[in-house]
Amino acid sequence: MSSKICRKCIKRKDANDFGKHRAVCKTCTNKIKKVQNRRYNRTKEGILTRIYGDQKKNSIRRGHPLPTYTKEELGKWIFTQKKFNALFDRWVRCGYKSDAKPSIDRKNDNKPYTLENIRLTTWRDNNLKAYSDHRKGKLKYDQKIAIKFSLTGKYISTYTSYRKAEEDNNIPRKSLSLGVKRGNGVYYGFMWRLICK
């Protein structure tokens, strides 16, 4: 059995560990692809590809007709939305946290994806109070927002900074973020959702 040296990891490997006519081994190739994918997923074009793919899958799962627009048409729509660049920049600032990722939801959940029935958002569960505040322009995009729920998940209030939430709930200063993370969303007797940590 023949072997050769991978150009990337410089290890001698069995010929089976290489694709046809490849100088880089399969393990290294997969690693490179993963990095490339992640980089692409974090671009505007990558977001569009992901959203459009998800919409097609969701439509089939729901038994709805496929989106009435092409990927190119959706791109034209999304990239010209007033809020898109602000949402995108905020997502980058938030370290690509999924909560802040620009996404699209339907205004009427019973209707399929059409350009008339979609809107740009960041969270899929857009029934949160914070979301409506966002839409009314009450909150700034780069604020750290803490949303408080009862342990049964009932919405209680939105704080426009972690500090306010800490003061109001007698939580030691600067411990909210870590506490919520450690408690898997539960801290000081409440459920929390923190935006832009």
Q: Which residues bind Zn ion (CB under 5 A)?
A: 6, 8-9, 25, 28
Measuring CA to CA, how many Å separate 197 from each of 53, 63, 94, 96? 28, 37, 7, 11
Smallest gap from Cβ 3 to Zn ion, in A, equals 12
Nearer to Zn ion, 25 or 194 (CB): 25
Sheet holding 190-195, edge to edge: 155-159, 145-149, 190-195, 186-187
Task: Tell me the one-letter amino acid at 95.
Answer: G
Smallest gap from Cβ 10 to Zn ion, in A, equals 8
Nearer to Zn ion, 22 or 50 (CB): 22
Smallest gap from Cβ 7 to Zn ion, in A, equals 8
Which residues, at least 6 apart from 186, have a Cβ–Cβ distance to it below 8 Å? 151, 180, 192
Nearer to Zn ion, 7 or 182 (CB): 7
Nearer to Zn ion, 6 or 118 (CB): 6
Smallest gap from Cβ 11 to Zn ion, in A, equals 6
Nearer to Zn ion, 25 or 94 (CB): 25
CA dihedral 90, 92, 94, 95 (to 10 degrees): 170
Smallest gap from Cβ 31 to Zn ion, in A, equals 8
Separation between Cα atoms, residue 22 and residue 10, nearest integer Å: 14
What's the token pair of residue 43? 């671009």
